[in-house]
Amino acid sequence: MRVLVILLILILSLYSWTKADDIVDFEIEGISVGDSLLDYYTEEEIINSEKTIYPSSKNFYTLHISVDSENYDQLSIGVKNNDQNYIVYSVAGDKIYRQNPKDCLPKMKSIIEQFDDNLKSSRKNQYKHTYDTLAKGKSFAEVVDYNFPNNSAIRVWCNFFTEEVIKKYDVANGLSVSLGTNKWFNFLNNEAY
């Protein structure tokens, strides 16, 4: 009987994942889009965390919080500027590749293969994004988006920044798996850089 219950739970959880049509159905390290960061961290931890302020727009910023995880080195969490509830618009698990950034690509491929098998109802878009305003367009990302009907998305990408950009903006090359709202990805794609 116990095995039957476990099997039933497993089947239902897999079924719900393959039928998910909204980003709030997913989580990274327990955090989902739409959550308040105050449910996971104190306001002091949030305020004292490392931040990315984007060069072309201040509408959103990203908090970086180190995690003890076998999958990720840190979480990057997108929040709206001046939001005292710290509502999550994006949550990403980041794996940093300082020594050999190209090592990111095989891990990305493995993640994409898993998503391809399980996100058949989403629209897949694979492309190279050039950061035009950073180091004269020499920094770029290899990106795969899985877009949902409400325009939220799962994005998997590997960043390849020049040394100049890494030093100037204190960023790192690496792999990110991100869950984000339409507002978040519109900001990243059209305003941030």
pLDDT for 79-89, tens place per residue? 999 999 999 99
Q: How far apart are CA 179 and CA 171, in angstroms?
A: 20
Could you tell me the residue range of the domain that residue 82 belongs to? 2-190
Which pLDDT score, from 0 to 100, does residue 134 have? 82
Within 8 A by CB and 6+ apart from 53, the residues are 61
Locus of tokens 């039928």: 19
Q: What is the pLDDT of residues 159-189, one digit of tens each?
A: 999 999 999 888 899 999 999 999 998 998 8
Q: What is the pLDDT of residues 93-145, one digit of tens each?
A: 999 998 889 999 999 999 999 999 888 888 999 999 998 888 788 999 999 99
Task: Please state the pTM of the whole predicted model.
Answer: 0.80
Domain count, the chain: 1
